[in-house]
Amino acid sequence: MRGYLGIDVGSVSTNIVFLSERGEVCEAVYLRTRGQPIRALQEGLGELRRRLPAEVSVLGVGATGSGRYLAGLVTGADVIKNEITSHAVAASTLVPGVQTVIEIGGQDSKLIILRGGIVADFAMNTVCAAGTGSFLDQQAARLGIPIEDFGRLALQSSAPVRIAGRCAVFAESDMIHKQQMGYSLADILAGLCEALVRNYLNNVGKGKEILPPVVFQGGVAANAGMKRAFEKALGMEVIVPPYYHVMGAVGAALLAREKMAARRPSKFKGFGVTEARFQAAGFECGGCPNACEVVELREGGEVLARWGDRCGRWSSSLGLQNVG
Amino acid sequence: MPRIGIPRALLYYHYFPWWEAFFVSLGAEVVISPPTTKAILDRGLEHAADDVCLPVKVAVGHVLELKDRVDAIFLPRLVSVAAREYICPKFLGLPEMVGHSIKGLPPLLSPGLNLYRGGSPYHFFAALGRALGYPPWQVLAAYRRACRVQQQYKRLLESGLFPEEALAALRGRHDAAAPRDTMGSPLVAVIGHPYNIYDAFVSMDLLGKLGRRGIKVITADSLSEENVCRGAAHLPKRLFWTLGRRTVGAAYHYLQWGRVDGMIHVSSFACGPDSFAGEFIARRAHRMGLPFLSLVLDEHSGEAGMVTRLEAFLDMVERRKKYREEGSAS
């Protein structure tokens, strides 16, 4: 069996997929990053290895997500791409003709506008996290509801409550108020979904032309209440594709396939990296008043890479690529 | 021989040669603060009012950097540099803000420059010369020389050099004077105030990042005033902020020109004029189908978020270019 690895190391989850030569998803692993991206990556690769047949051959590796450079160094990726391009490539391959991609993850949310199969415009949330999955996570926890049941419960609502969703802090006090007034849980949950959608469309979607087909992906797309709230707000069908939760990794694998079409050898270090001992440590450089926080990645005793310095004093001292 | 400190901030990028030549002709020594560092920004944040924009906070940090090294700090009160136009009010109040929030400062040289009703900037320099105690004939000669140097600087900028390169060329470093090659591609227009885009710390080295990725960059500063005016004439109403008019005018000019493959608008959080200038530019760029990226800078900006946006923007530029070239080839 031959194919491509796609790795998406995000702030909340680490996703790895194995794509066949024809571009079909064979296996997908979804793990929580839990603040330890290297360990999550090693665990994920180990899990994938167990699920794949023994004679598997990796033709190329793509890495994406906020931990893409780290993941690329650890595994030996052939392509390191940002999340926006990866998500766009995955959506336009799995849902041909897509014109709008809504992606909501744990810590960030994106809107990608495609025209004729290529990205025409995009936006990401700025400093505020009120339009992201962690907002829902937090509120569900406050209400004592497992996040997995959130969507199903929200769908039972017939009259969603209006909740001020501009800010997570105010949303919470507003929710408590509505709760004390006696609204049902389902109506409050559906109201939360609508508040988040409103917030997303006002901030991330500001000034963007949202045309169908609309694809909704990222971890939050699991929430059926969110899908319905988007459909209601946009007045059009919203498609949640299969593998919606690992689309970034699918996109990275597709980009690796595109790059390796010329049949060059992959830089993949092999599944043995799951056993290797990696250590990442930071230190503050005292070379100038910038006091950059430099991160160093070691494998065994050897320094693989350094980054975080503005001037290149540390990152270039190894003759390796300047990350970022 | 008095030592006069000039902060490497705000309109330094527009007018430094003018000011320096004036002081040097009078026999003064000019000290510039070093390029912005994290320590300079941190000290600026401590001493600046909360609600000012990032570049003003940076400027306050530069004043602190000069504080114990010079006899006087040159911090002009820039009200207006062109007829019927204004400079941002935060620049106007800067001498007061600095004077009241920093203790133990050397004297501030803060003559006012106000050309709102027209007139010559000579009065500004005359007041400056008087304050330093030089005779009028010497001040006039220094002013004339300063104007010649500033003209030369403008010509260097219009030939495509970035400010620090043009300054090096003025100092006789002719290797720096090679005109920027904008042929070949991709070509990206970076639009924003010079104190944001050329300050590598504030912009998180945007120009360096683009250069290392093989992107060619043009900015508003290589455009003549006529081109900027023609660009700004597309607005339904005259913009009376000089810097905002330059931003919109230059962006509109490049959109009309049709040779750029993408445009990046750089603005600072809490900048009023930038917030709508950016919107004007974004709408026109979208109508014309040009890849456009808006980067908003503030002291909390994480570099990771900026790099992700920049990479996605460049992918958009390159994929669109490839797609168009394939389209026209077939």
Instruction: Please indicate whether, in this complex, the C-beta atoms of A85 and B311 are within 8 angstroms of each other.
Output: yes
**B196 near B203, Cβ under 8 Å?**
yes
pLDDT confidence of B154, banded at 50, 70, 90? very high
Please report the pLDDT score of residue A130 as a whole number. Answer: 63
Average pLDDT estimate for A163-188: 85
Distance from CA of A83 to the nearest CA of B (A): 7
State whether A290 and B201 contact (CB < 8 Å). Answer: yes
Q: Inform me whether the pLDDT recorded for A320 exceeds 60.
A: no
DSSP at A246: G
Asked whether residue B109 is assigned to any structural domain, the reply reads: yes
pLDDT of residue B181: 65
Quote the tokens at residue B322: 């490839």
Q: Which of A114, A53, A86 is nearest to A247 (CA)?
A: A86
Q: What is the domain-level CATH number for residue B138?
A: 3.40.50.11890
Domain shared by B54 and B150, yes or no: yes
Mutation test of the interface with chain B: which of A128, A284, A310, choosing the one with the most B Cβ atoms within 10 A?
A310
Task: Please state the ipTM of this predicted complex.
Answer: 0.85
What's the pLDDT tens digit per position in B250-283? 999 999 998 999 999 999 988 888 888 999 999 9
- Alpha helices of chain A — where are they, by DSSP H? 37-51, 68-75, 83-94, 133-143, 147-155, 168-180, 185-203, 224-234, 247-259
User: Mean pLDDT in chain B?
Assistant: 91
For residues A7-29, give the mean pLDDT: 93
Give the model's confidence band at B325: pLDDT under 50 very low, under 70 low, under 90 confident, else very high.
Answer: confident
* Structural domain contains residue B261: yes
User: Which of B290, B293, B308, B323 to mutate to probe the A interface, most A CBs <10 Å?
Assistant: B308
Identify whether B321 is part of a domain: yes
The values of phi and psi at residue A25, to 5°, are -75, 120
Residue % of chain A over a pLDDT of 70? 96
Min Cα distance B232 → chain A (Å) is 22
Q: Check whether residue B185 and residue B80 sit in a common domain.
A: no
Q: In terms of domains, do B257 and B225 share one?
A: yes
Whether A55 shows a pLDDT value over 70: the answer reads yes
Q: Is the same domain home to B129 and B225? A: no
- Co-location of B46 and B123 in the same domain: yes
User: For chains A and B, what is the number of CB pairs under 8 angstroms?
Assistant: 67
Picking from B38, B205, B283, the nearest residue to A291 by CB comes out as B38
Question: B35 touching A, CB under 8 A?
Answer: no
The reply to whether B115 and B208 lie within a common domain is no
Would the CB atoms of B319 and A127 count as touching at under 8 Å? no
Of residues B122 and A289, which shows the higher confidence score? Answer: B122
Residue B175 lies in a domain: no
CB distance A291–B319 less than 8 Å? no
Which residue of A121, A126, A259 to mutate against B (max B Cβ within 10 Å)? Answer: A121
Q: How many CB atoms lie within 10 A of CB A301?
A: 7
Enter the CATH code of domain A96-238: 3.30.420.40
Residues B92, B66 share a domain: yes
How many domains in chain B? 2
**pLDDT score of A5:** 97
Q: Any idea where the domains of chain A sit in the sequence?
A: 2-87+248-274, 96-238, 278-318
Is B185 found in the same domain as B150? no
DSSP designation for A222: G
Report the pLDDT value the prediction gives residue A64, as an integer from 0 to 100: 96
Do B132 and B197 reside in the same domain of the chain? no
Do the domains A96-238 and A2-87+248-274 match in fold? Answer: yes
Q: Is residue B21's pLDDT more than 80?
A: yes
Statement to judge: residues B160 and B282 lie in one domain: no
Q: What is the average per-residue pLDDT within B20-26?
A: 96
Q: Which domain holds residue B83?
A: 3-170
pLDDT at B97: 92
At residue B174 the predicted structure's pLDDT band, cuts being 50, 70 and 90, is low
Which of A119, A289, A290 shows the shortest C-beta gap to B315? Answer: A119
pLDDT at A321: 46
Give tens-digit pLDDT for A75-99.
Answer: 999 999 999 999 999 999 999 999 9
pLDDT at B72 over 70: yes
**Boundary residue ending a domain (B170, B205, B227):** B170
Check A66 against B319: CB less than 8 A apart.
no
3-state secondary structure of B77: strand
- The answer, yes or no, to whether residue A291 has pLDDT greater than 50, is yes
pLDDT at B272: 86
Q: Which residues of A lie closer than 8 Å to B, measured between beta carbons?
A: 66, 81-85, 116, 118-122, 124, 126-127, 207, 288-292, 310, 322, 324
Confidence band for A304, pLDDT divided at 50, 70 and 90: confident
Q: What is the CATH number of domain A2-87+248-274?
A: 3.30.420.40
Residue B134: predicted pLDDT: 94
Task: Give the pLDDT band of residue B180 (cuts 50, 70, 90).
Answer: low
Same domain? For B64 and B202 the reply is no
Q: Are strands B29-32 and B3-6 parallel, antiparallel or unpaired?
A: parallel
Type of residue found at A45: L
Cα separation, B236 vs B311, in Å, equals: 34
In a domain, B122, yes or no: yes
Mean pLDDT of all residues belonging to chain A: 89
Residue B178 pLDDT grade (very low, low, confident, very high; cuts 50, 70, 90): low
Nearest Cβ partner for B39 among A84, A127, A289? A289
Q: If you average pLDDT over residues A21-39, what whole number do you get? A: 91
Last residue of a domain, one of B170, B192, B216: B170
User: CA-CA distance, B63 to A104, in Å (whole number)?
Assistant: 44
**What is the pLDDT confidence band of residue A236, given thresholds at 50, 70 and 90?**
very high
The residue-averaged pLDDT of A53-75 equals 93
Q: What's the confidence (pLDDT) of residue B175? A: 64
Strand ranges inside B180-269, DSSP E: 187-191, 216-219, 262-268
Beta strands A278-284 and A293-299: pairing type?
antiparallel
> Would you say residue B26 lies in a domain?
yes
* Position A323 pLDDT exceeds 50: no
Chain B residues near residue A207 by CB distance under 8 angstroms: 279, 282-283, 286
Minimum mean pLDDT range among A239-253, B109-123, B131-145, B171-185: B171-185
B37 touching chain A per CB within 8 A: yes
Give the domain-ending residue among B170, B198, B224. B170
